[in-house]
Amino acid sequence: MSAKGEAGLAKPLWLCNKCGRSFANRNQSHTCRKLELEHHFQGKAPAVRELFEQFLAALQAIGPVAVLPEQSRIAFQTRMSFAQLTPRKTYLVGHLVLAKSTPSAKFTKIQSLSPRNHVHHFRLESPEFLDAEFLVLLAQAYAVGNQEHLSAQAA
């Protein structure tokens, strides 16, 4: 299975006609509910919002990304969602989707969903967490969001 159609061109994203959200897969299961980003930061320490902004800036340094506030999380998407954050009172929890299981002290848990989709959970408590090692992992997750891991396997 590849993210590319004929002639190596990326397949167009499917748009939900109810909420306008785009997905790599047609009729992707989701909840059509638009929320504001601020919904997630009500009652949280200001440092939590600052950490979120630093995480987002690190992602945007890699490339364009859609920020999708959902009911219980904030998802980050290019062609597909590849990362998420959930604000807690004084920190953030989140995960990255990587193409291979990548053990690291950064991760609290790794869930292997398929041979090329592994969810790596983390707890973000300080800006120091966003070090060079994590930025490399973030770039790898961004590539998964672009479905580059599917193209590489198809080649």
Q: Picking from 31-45, 72-86, 118-132, 133-147, which range would have the lowest pLDDT averaged per residue?
A: 31-45
Q: Which two three-digit tokens encode residue 7?
A: 């002639």
The reported pLDDT for the residue numbered 9 is 46
Spatial contact of 67 and 59, defined as CB atoms under 8 Å apart: no
Q: What number is the average pLDDT over the span 98-121? A: 96
The reported pLDDT for the residue numbered 64 is 96
| Alpha-carbon dihedral angle through residues 13, 137, 43, 126, given to the nearest 10 degrees | -160
What DSSP string runs through 2-24? -SB-GGGPBPPPEE-TTT--EES
The domain ranges of the chain are 11-154
The reported pLDDT for the residue numbered 71 is 83
Q: Check residues 133 and 152 and name the one with the higher pLDDT.
A: 133
CA 58, 139, 133: angle at the middle one, nearest 5? 80
CA distance 149 to 155: 10
The reported pLDDT for the residue numbered 99 is 96
* Average pLDDT over the chain, rounded to an integer: 85
